[in-house]
A and B are shown apart, each in its own frame.
Chain A
Amino acid sequence: MELFSPISGTIMPMLAAGKVDEMTQKFGLSFPKFLAQVLIFVAVYAILKKFAFGPILAMLEQRRQRIADGEAKLDKIAKDLADAELNAKAVLDKANEDATRLIKEAGDSAKTLTEKRQQEAIHEASQILAKAREASTLEHEQLMSQLKREFGRMVTEATSRVTGKVLNSDDQSRINQETSAQVSL
C-alpha cells in the first residue's frame, strides 16, 4: 500500500477536507448542467454524422474511386495506344515492305518491257532498213534497167542517124542487148 501513497496522499486529504465540494462550487459543476452539455454534444455528433461525415466521406470515397477508375482507364488507354502504335508500326513496316517489293517488281517489269520494246524497235528498224535496202536495190535495178533501155534507144537512134539506115526491130534488139552488155561491164 506504500506504493500508492503518492496518489492516496493527494486525493484522500482532498476528499476528507471537503475539497471536492469546494471545487464543485468554485467551477459550478452540477449534474443538470453537465447533462445538458452532454446532450448538446451528442446532438452535434448526430448532426455532423448525418449531415457532414456520412455524405462527405461517401463523396470523398466516390471521388477517390472515380480517380482510381480514371487512372485505370488511363492505363488501359495508354496500353491500347502502345498496342495501336505497335500495330500501326507493323502495318507500316508491312506496307513499306510491300511498296519496296512492288517498286522493285515495277522496276524489273519496266526494265524487261524496255528491253522488249528496245528489241522490238531494233527488230523493226532492221526490218525497215532491210525493206529500204530492198526497195533501194529494186529502184536501182529499175533505174539501171530504164537507163539501159534509154541508153540502148539512144545508141540505136545514134546508130540509125550515123548509118542513115532504118533499123528494124531485130537490129534494134541486138544493139540494145550489146549496149546493155557493154554498160553492165
Chain B
Amino acid sequence: MEILSALSQTSPVLANVSSKASELFHGSSVLEFLTNSVLVALCVLGIVLWFSRKATKNMTLIPHKAQNFFEFIIEFLYDRVVGIVGEKQAKLAFPLLGTLFIYILVSNWFGLIPGVGTIGVGDAVGPFMVGEVHEPLLRPPTADLNATLALSISAFLVWFYLTIKELGFMGFLSHTFGAKGGLKGIMGIVVAIVFLFVGVIEVVSMILRPMTLSVRLYGNIFAGESVLHTLGGLLDKAGFPWSFIGGVLFPFPFYFMELLVGLLQAIVFTLLCSVYIQLSTTHDEHHEEEGHH
C-alpha cells in the first residue's frame, strides 16, 4: 500500500534540466568561458592524456593490457575509416576522426557517472541537500551546444582543408557545380544548368552540416540527461526512502540505453564526417579518365 501511495505521488513533469551550461564563476568576465561543461571537458582531456600515456608507455610487440585495449580501439577505428575514405585519405583524416570518436564517447559516458548533473547549487532543503539542482557542477560537454559546435566546426574546417588539398579550389568548384555524364549540345546545357542548381543546394547542405552534426549530438545527449533526471526524480515528492529507491531503480534500465546512445552518437558523428570527406575527395570518373590519358 505504501508503494501505491508513493507511486501516486509521482511527478510526470519533465525534469527542469537547463539547456545551457552553467558558468562556474558568475560575474567574472575573464572566467566567463569556464562552465561546468568546460570543466568536464578538461576532465576528459585529463583522462585521455592519462590513458594514452599509460597505453603507449613502454610499448612492446607483445602488448600489455592498456596497450592492447588502446590498440584494439584504434585498429578498429582505423579499419572503419580506411573502409570509407580509402588508404590515402585515412592517413590524413584518421587523427581527426579518431579524436572525434574517442572524445565524444568519453564525454557521453562521462555524463552517466553518478553525480554528473546532480551535484551542484540549488535551493537547500537540508545539510548538503538541495531540492532541485539549478546549476550542476559537472555537465557532459556533448550536452553543451558550444562544445558540439566546436567539434563540428573543427571537423568542417579539416574536411574543407582535405578537400581543397585533394582537388584544389577549382577542382572543388568543378566537383560541386560541374555537369556529370558528358552530354553535349542542348542536353549538355540543360544538364549543366541542373547541376549548377544542384551545386547550390550542395553548398547549402555543406554549410548546414556543422549545424546538423552539432544539434544531433547535443539533442541526443541532452535528451538522455533529461530522461535520466526525470526518471530519477519521479518519487522525489514521496519523501525518504521512496525518493532514494525511485532515484536508483527508475533510471537504472535507461543507463544501458544511454550507454548505447552514447556509443551510437560517437559512431554516427565520426562516420558522417568520414562520409563527408569521402564524398568530397573522390575524383569524378571523367577526371580519372582524363588523368589516365
Residues of A within 8 A of B (CB): 3, 7, 26-30, 32-38, 40-45, 47-49, 51-53, 55-57, 59-60, 62-63, 66
Partner of B70, one of A29, A34, A56: A56
A53 touches B98 (CB 8 A): yes
B145 touches A40 (CB 8 A): no
Tally of chain B residues near chain A (CB < 8 A): 48
A43 touches B144 (CB 8 A): no
B150 touches A60 (CB 8 A): no
A26 touches B33 (CB 8 A): no
For B180-217 the 0/1 string (1 means CB < 8 A from A) is 00000000000000000100000010000000000000
Partner of A37, one of B19, B38, B99: B38
Q: Which of A38, A43, A63: most chain B CB closer than 10 A?
A: A38
| A81–B190 alpha-carbon span in the complex (Å) | 69
B146 touches A33 (CB 8 A): yes
Q: Which residues of A contact B49 (CB under 8 A)?
A: 47, 51
B48 touches A48 (CB 8 A): yes
| A85–B52 alpha-carbon span in the complex (Å) | 50
Q: Is B147 an interface residue (CB 8 A)?
A: yes
What number of residue pairs across chains A and B have CB atoms under 8 A from each other? 131
Partner of A48, one of B33, B95, B197: B95
For B143-166 the 0/1 string (1 means CB < 8 A from A) is 011110111011000000000000
Residues of B within 8 A of A (CB): 19-21, 32-35, 37-38, 41-42, 44-45, 48-49, 52-53, 55-56, 59, 61, 63, 67, 70-71, 74-75, 78, 94-96, 98-99, 102-103, 141, 144-147, 149-151, 153-154, 197, 204, 218
If the complex has contacts A51-B56, A52-B74, are A27 and B45 also in contact, measured as CB distance less than 8 A? no
| A66–B21 alpha-carbon span in the complex (Å) | 49
B44 touches A44 (CB 8 A): yes
Query: Nearest Cβ in chain B — how far from A152, in angstroms?
Result: 123
Question: Which residue of chain A has its CB nearest to the CB of B21?
Answer: A28
| A3–B75 alpha-carbon span in the complex (Å) | 46
| A66–B62 alpha-carbon span in the complex (Å) | 12
B19 touches A26 (CB 8 A): yes
| A38–B42 alpha-carbon span in the complex (Å) | 12
Question: Which residue of chain A has its CB nearest to the CB of B149?
Answer: A34
If the complex has contacts A34-B150, A47-B48, A56-B71, are A28 and B145 also in contact, measured as CB distance less than 8 A? yes
Partner of B94, one of A30, A36, A51, A53: A53
Q: Which residues of A contact B52 (CB under 8 A)?
A: 47-48, 51-52
Q: Which residues of B contact A30 (CB under 8 A)?
A: 32-33, 146
| Beyond known contacts A28-B145, A41-B103: 20 more, CB 8 A cutoff | A27-B145, A27-B146, A28-B144, A28-B146, A29-B145, A29-B149, A32-B32, A36-B41, A37-B149, A40-B41, A41-B154, A44-B45, A44-B102, A44-B103, A45-B99, A48-B48, A55-B56, A57-B78, A59-B71, A60-B75
If the complex has contacts A29-B145, A53-B94, are A38 and B74 also in contact, measured as CB distance less than 8 A? no
Closest 7 CB pairs of A and B: A28-B20, A37-B150, A32-B33, A36-B33, A52-B52, A51-B52, A27-B145
| A106–B144 alpha-carbon span in the complex (Å) | 100
| A29–B150 alpha-carbon span in the complex (Å) | 11
**CB-defined A-B contacts under 8 Å, sample of 18:** A3-B197, A27-B218, A28-B35, A30-B32, A36-B41, A37-B146, A37-B149, A40-B42, A41-B150, A41-B151, A45-B154, A47-B45, A51-B52, A56-B56, A56-B70, A56-B74, A57-B78, A59-B71
A7 touches B204 (CB 8 A): yes
B20 touches A48 (CB 8 A): no
| A117–B152 alpha-carbon span in the complex (Å) | 109
| A44–B103 alpha-carbon span in the complex (Å) | 8
Q: Which residues of A contact B55 (CB under 8 A)?
A: 52, 56
Q: Which residues of B contact A44 (CB under 8 A)?
A: 44-45, 48, 99, 102-103
| A179–B191 alpha-carbon span in the complex (Å) | 162
Query: Nearest Cβ in chain A — how far from B107, in angstroms?
Result: 10
Q: Which residues of B contact A28 (CB under 8 A)?
A: 19-21, 35, 144-146
Query: Nearest Cβ in chain B — how far from A113, in angstroms?
Result: 69
